Structure 1
Amino acid sequence: MMTVSRRLGALLSAGALLAACDAPGPPPVPPTPAPTASENACPDGFRLTAGPVDGASGLRAMALVLENCGTGPYTLEGFPIVRVLDDRRTALGVTVGNGSEPISSPDSWDAPAHRLTVAPGGTARARVLWRNTVTEGDPVAATYLSVAPAPGAPERLVTPDGGLDLGTTGRLAVNAWADAG
């Protein structure tokens, strides 16, 4: 009799666990696709990546790094074109300005924009700044940046480590491209 009770208890427990597994949960996050052969071949002559996010007292900074993975020089002039996207890759209503102000006081990253030629294998950098200031309203949390190195250039999706905690400011600042040399 004791054996039957134990078996019945085990079956009921297993049934409850299986029923819990059938309960609806959050939708799965689609996997990040592996790079295709054409992406590895660098068809547009550049790769863009996001550096680590550096944060202190609500001010956040992150480098955008452009690598010339092509066979010829890659010319940049001015500022990267940046759009802020959510986890579904939908553009958010965030104002992106050129230069550190009004996010932060000007500093050495605020050198005037100039023409920059990146040799094959070379890199250039731009800085992205934002504040995690929360006043009124709902804070904005972004997952991706869509970045074009220059007007008319192909955009690339970059994923900042930890996302972008923009608070309620609705602003982001971008510094001009500089030699990462």
Structure 2
Amino acid sequence: MLCACGARSPSGVAAVPDEDTSRPAAPTASPHTTVPTAPAACPDSGVLLRAAEADAAMGLRVQRIELVNCGTRAYTVNGHPSVQVLDEDLEPLEVTVSHGASAIATLDGFETATGPVRLKPGERSVARLAWRNLVTDVTRPAADGRYLRIVPNGEDNAGGNDSGGGAQTVPDHIDLGTTGKLGVSAWDHPAQDSPESPDARP
């Protein structure tokens, strides 16, 4: 069971906690950029977001996003998280984010919406991201995302909706090349088997 404990952070920005999967080092931003460097603490919202390391196969990337209920009340997510890709200066990149991965690859379970996922304190939910690292247009620069801005789109058991207010900025490396497409799956319970590998068919 994953649970982030400690003091709560009022910033709503969570760094990735140490875990058994290594993450890319946080990028160096310009001198005028405030880089998210908050400690791995439970935010006021009671939920903590983090990104696992991406699996890669022939230019295809598949990555898990985890949401941990680190608070004291039940928390429910339903549908897809809202995801925005940011560069090293925390500026949004021109990326088309879609529900599902049909515009990118055929991936098992990506098009399935499981309905509400209710998390007790200490429980977690996962969503997946999919993209291709390809350069298909030499006239445009490659998109190299360094952070994700994620809104869970959930609510606690008191009925408070977190849309917009529950956003967290998570260090991550999203190397989209020039494809400009990112697929997002719906929230689901984590698989109980071994770490997934991209089961992709063109």
Give the structure-2-normalised TM-score.
Answer: 0.69
Q: Separation in 2 of the partners of 1:34 and 1:105?
A: 36
Paired with 1:105 and 1:32, the residues of 2 have a C-alpha distance of: 34
Q: State whether structure 2 residue 148 is matched by structure 1 residue 145.
A: yes
Q: How far apart in 1 are the matches of 2:34 and 2:48?
A: 23
Q: CA deviation at 1:32?
A: 5.2
Of 21, 30, 37, the match for 1:33 = 37
Structure number having the greater helix percentage: 1
| Equivalence for 2:181 | 171
Matched-pair identity in %: 36
AA aligned opposite 2:167: E
- Aligned pairs for 1:44-123 within 5 A: 44-123=45-124
Structure 2 vs 1, CA of residues 47 and 170 (structure 1 numbering), >3 Å: closer, same or farther?
A: same
Query: How far apart in 2 are the matches of 1:76 and 1:158?
Result: 18
Q: Tell me how far apart the structure 2 counterparts of residues 106 and 33 of structure 1 sit (CA, whole Å).
A: 33
Following superposition, the deviation at residue 108 of structure 1 comes to 2.4
Give per-residue Cα distances to partners, 1:17-73, cap 9 Å, x unaligned. Answer: xxxxxxxxx9668675343xxx73431010000001111100001100000001111
The alpha-carbon deviation at position 127 of structure 1 amounts to 0.2
CA 1:180/1:47 → structure 2, altered by over 3 Å: closer, same or farther? same
Q: What is the match of residue 168 of structure 2?
A: 156
CA separation of 1:41 and 1:175: change in aligned 2, threshold 3 A: closer
Paired residues, what number? 151
Q: Which amino acid is the alignment partner of residue 100 of structure 1?
A: A
**Mapped contact 1:79–1:113 kept (Cα < 8 A):** no
Residues 79 and 166 from structure 1, CA distance in 2 versus in 1: closer, same or farther, beyond 3 angstroms? same
Counterpart-to-counterpart distance in 2, 1:118 and 1:91: 30
Moved over 4 A (4+): 26-32
Contact 2:69 2:124 in 1 (8 A): yes
Distance 2:142 2:42 in 1: 39
Whole-Å separation in 2 of the counterparts to 1:125 and 1:142: 21
Q: List gaps (5 residues or longer) in structure 2.
A: 1-28, 154-162, 192-202
Tell me the distance in 2 between the aligned counterparts of 1:27 and 1:34: 18
Counterpart residue number, 2:197:
none
- Report if aligned partners of 1:141, 1:166 keep a CA contact under 8 Å in 2: yes
In structure 1, how many angstroms separate the alpha carbons of the residues matched to 2:132 and 2:72? 38
Given that residues 99 and 111 in structure 2 are in contact (C-alpha distance below 8 angstroms), is that contact kept between their aligned partners in structure 1? no
- The unaligned stretches of length 5 or more in structure 1 are 1-25
Instruction: Tell me the distance in 2 between the aligned counterparts of 1:43 and 1:158.
Output: 16
| Aligned Cα root-mean-square deviation (Å) | 2.1
CA distance in 2, matches of 1:102, 1:41: 35
CA contact (8 A) 1:46 1:68 kept: yes
* 1:154 alignment partner AA: G
> Which residue identity does 1:167 align to in structure 2?
G
